[in-house]
């Protein structure tokens, strides 16, 4: 029989790619998504339209923070595993509308933890973010680093999720893996993220906004590499025996794992890859750093490799070319 897994945020950028992979791997997938209008709902509907035909996919449109929603799903389907991606995303939007992050990220995750306490899965994997590293300047970021100085309210809510999940893992013996992902990009990506913003501006003849005068770098992670890492972690259930370089808690079945490309790419190099893929040189508007942002990210992904024997590998030039090809097709450019 197929194994059953619950994916929150299933119509989101990462959730969509993850559900596709899980369905192809033979899982029975229960997907829940609020279909909010934070960005173009049509993009979410387009993703969902590709998932719906799968007989093993069950779609639920609801907010995870609403009382009883997740409890009822767990009671009905009894998922063996859970991957929690549903969240209000975005560093910049968290400055404009912080309350939405309280509802989705804090209360929503609390509802999930309570549902798991009532109907324990074998393993739950909860999304965190590289933004949790905050003001750290030592690179690459390693899971054992102290992470007490978040630079945005978004990052603060995701760090809070890590701490909340640890307490439930300790109190109720719930195996939890928190995965911190780095700047994820690829086909069907969010329109509020840099690859989409840059590509749309280039094709429409508008200047692109280059923050911190281009003096930034990111560990750009192609979406299918991230999905590969998540899927391989499903069976890497935190136990009592640590592996090399482990972040396993001494008092709970709880660990934190980076999923990144282990390479910090300068922003100007990333823009150059988009220019190469589009065949158009961008007009650049160099600007100051935005509030809440950090100048660089870079993942130490060795723990992921020790746990799964997997290392993300897609070079930026290839990933950007695939994103631009999708963009041309989807928007008929």
Tell me which residues are annotated as active site: 154
> Cis omega (within 30 of 0) on the bond before 247?
no
- DSSP states along 121-184: -SEEEEEEEGGGGTT--SSSB-TTS-----SSHHHHHHHHHHHHHHHHHHHH---EEEEEE--E
The β-bridge partners of 61 are 33
The β-bridge partners of 275 are none
Helix ranges, the chain (H):
13-24, 41-51, 69-77, 93-96, 98-101, 108-118, 153-172, 194-204, 223-233, 267-278, 302-308, 316-331
Contact of 86 with 31, CB cutoff 8 Å: no
């Amino acid at each position: 029989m197929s194994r059953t897994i619950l994916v929150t945020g299933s119509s989101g950028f990462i959730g969509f790619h993850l559900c596709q992979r899980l369905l192809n791997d033979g899982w029975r997938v229960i997907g829940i998504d609020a279909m909010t209008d934070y960005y173009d709902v049509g993009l979410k509907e387009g993703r969902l339209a590709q998932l719906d035909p799968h007989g093993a996919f069950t779609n639920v449109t609801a907010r995870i923070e609403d009382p009883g929603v997740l409890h009822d799903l767990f009671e009905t389907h009894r998922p063996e595993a859970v991957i929690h991606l549903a969240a209000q995303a975005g560093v910049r939007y968290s400055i404009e509308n912080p309350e939405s992050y309280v509802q989705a990220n804090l209360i929503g995750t609390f509802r999930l933890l309570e549902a798991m306490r009532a109907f324990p899965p074998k393993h739950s994997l909860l999304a965190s973010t590289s933004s949790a590293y905050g003001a750290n300047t030592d690179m690459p970021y390693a899971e054992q680093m102290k992470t007490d100085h978040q630079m945005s309210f978004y990052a603060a809510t995701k760090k809070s999720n890590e701490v909340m999940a640890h307490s439930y893992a300790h109190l109720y013996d719930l195996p939890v893996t928190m995965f911190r992902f780095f700047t994820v990009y690829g086909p069907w990506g969010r329109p509020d993220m840099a690859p989409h913003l840059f590509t749309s501006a280039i094709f429409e003849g508008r200047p692109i906004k280059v923050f911190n005068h281009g003096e930034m770098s990111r560990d750009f992670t192609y979406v299918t590499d991230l999905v590969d890492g998540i899927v391989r972690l499903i069976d890497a259930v935190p136990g009592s025996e640590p592996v090399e370089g482990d972040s396993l808690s001494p008092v709970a079945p709880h660990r934190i794992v980076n999923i990144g490309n282990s390479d910090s790419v300068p922003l100007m190099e990333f823009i150059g890859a988009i220019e190469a893929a589009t065949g158009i040189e961008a007009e650049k508007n160099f600007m100051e750093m935005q509030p809440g942002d950090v100048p660089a990210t870079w993942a130490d992904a060795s723990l992921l490799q020790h746990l799964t024997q997997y290392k993300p590998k897609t070079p930026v030039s290839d990933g950007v070319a695939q994103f631009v090809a999708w963009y041309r097709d989807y928007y008929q450019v």
